[in-house]
Amino acid sequence: MDFNKAVEVCLKKHARNTDTFVRYGTAGFRDRAETLDYIMYRMGLLATLRSCVKQAAIGVMVTASHNPEEDNGVKLIDPLGEMLEESWEVHATDLVNSGDADLVTVLKNIVGNNKCPDNFQPVVLIARDTRQSSASLARSVFDGVEAIGGKCKDYGVLTTPQLHFLVHWYNSHDNQFADTSQYYNRITNAFKDLRGQELCRDNYTNQLVVDCANGVGAVAMETFIEKLQDSLAVELVNEGKGGKINYMCGADYVKVQQKAPQVHQGKNLMVPGVRCASLDGDADRIVYFYTDLDGEFHLLDGDRIATLIAGYLCDQLSASELDIKLGLVQTAYANGSSTKYITQEMKIPISCAKTGVKHLHKLALNYDIGVYFEANGHGTVLFSEKAQKTIEDASVNPGLNDTQKKSTLCLKMMLDLINQTVGDAISDLLVVETILHARGWSIVDWEKLYNDLPNKQLKVKVKDRTVISTTDAERKCITPANLQNVIDILVSKFTNGRSFARPSGTENVVRVYAEADTQANADKLAYEVAGSIYDLAGGVGERPSLPQ
């Protein structure tokens, strides 16, 4: 590899024009689009090196997910469709923060610390979301790949989960490039096989409204609708025809604001009883919602989705009598009522992970079947090799009775319906619709599984977020020294009180979460904890206080 060529191209087209330090995190790099050119170029370089080291294709996704339209970002995808190995996040951070003249040294250090064969042709698969800035930023990634001899495959506009799927496909099918038809056909065929010919059942109707956040999910949903034909009657809103990506719509907006998205085409989503779902800007998150006859908004988030899926899979495992153990992974943001219901009513073991899907994904691998979801709606199901082989072998076992055979076949089809590489909002949507159909449930029936504790989330601006450090999967603060004691005292004043604080991974804010028996008490607890953080952790601007 000619690293001098990398410097030459960098200085000519992609020079670093800032001294601002940035760090590769769970979301990769993310910032205002106009600041990202040099970062994209260097991620093209890094993806090429990663491909060479792993002797496999690597993916590069240009997206800012749930961020505002004026932002953008980039994240790398490892050979099995998983997120970038954590040890390489350090390489990404070092490479992006090095001076232009130091590129050769940093690139050599990365190669020096890893085996990089000379006779391997690096391959990088690239895709982007629908932001106006994405095409030019993807071109910067191409330049980085080509500068050191890598081969690019441009997939154009895709959802993030689609690129994860295609990277895994290439590396698990003798280096054969797939097109998106493999993705669509696998998922839609499994969906139709699981549902059969019966469109509606008991309280379930096959009508659904999907808020696409004015993002790339609309493109994918249109193809799914065409392939599903009459199996699911989907109406799309916020398709990107006049609205801005994630602006007052999308999964993050619905989850945080706890209200229905605005619809730029003028449709009213507040019609009582209509089952609705919101994707985020790159279609890796999903939440459901509806409005009741009294006009009250009801949110069914990632906790609800995880509970629904885990319950269904447990029933199938029980009926099939297969020796497969299932577990569920949550974060501290999971509603306390969901945790109680899962452990006490469903008898399913739970692990608590730090925020960020890479942490949940890792813990989910400890189970034969690991269901993981963040409360924000980002998650999936992982089947271990043991679980997949057990299911595949049982599906052709002539000795099974009818009940065992039916449940085993359901599990086998779930292997195709679920995108195991990463949280996939559209795959998750079809899993939810499959289960509601099988149960004969309306969205109201689904919600009746348990009652959420009222909760509140806030952000506190601070001078330096690193003064906050946490332990116990971010549920306890270590520093500042007295902060956790203050939080514990505040929590003790509220019935069913729970609160934690954690520093943001991308900005100088501290995120606060609080639960209590009523919404008023949850709000009060959240603002009291936020005020304490402001006082003890160097808050800036106006001190948080409960609105009057």
Give the H/E segment covering residue 373: strand 369-373
Q: Which tokens sit at 113?
A: 């610390």
Q: What is the DSSP letter of 107?
A: H
Q: Across 196-268, where does the E strand assignment appear? A: 207-211, 233-237
Q: Which tokens sit at 144?
A: 């980085």
CB contact set of 431 (below 8 Å; sequence gap of 6+)? 309, 381, 414, 417, 418
Give SS3 for 154: strand
Can you tell me the distance from the alpha carbon of 4 to that of 1, in angstroms, rounded to the nearest whole number? Answer: 9
Choice among 65, 278, 351, 532 that is catalytic: 65
How far are the Cα atoms of 390, 396, 401 from residue 405, in angstroms, in the given order? 13, 9, 6
Give SS3 for 392: helix
Can you tell me the distance from the alpha carbon of 61 to that of 128, in angstroms, rounded to the nearest whole number? Answer: 6
Of 270, 303, 269, 351, nearest to 451 by C-alpha is: 303
Answer whether 62's CB lies under 8 Å from 126's CB: yes
Q: Which residues pair with 165 in a beta bridge?
A: none
Position of tokens 């004026």?
70
How would you write 290-353 as a 3-class SS string?
EECCCCCEEEECHHHHHHHHHHHHHHHHHHHCCCCCEEEEEECCCCHHHHHHHHHHCCCCEEEE
Can you tell me the distance from the alpha carbon of 75 to that of 84, in angstroms, rounded to the nearest whole number? Answer: 8
Pairing outcome for strands 455-461 and 469-471: unpaired
DSSP notation for 442-492: -HHHHHTT--PPPEEEEEEEBS-GGG-EEETTTTEEEESTTHHHHHHHHHT
Q: What is the DSSP letter of 104?
A: H
Can you tell me the distance from the alpha carbon of 452 to that of 126, in angstroms, rounded to the nearest whole number? Answer: 40
CB contact set of 401 (below 8 Å; sequence gap of 6+)? none
Q: Is 499 a catalytic residue?
A: no
State the catalytic residues: 65
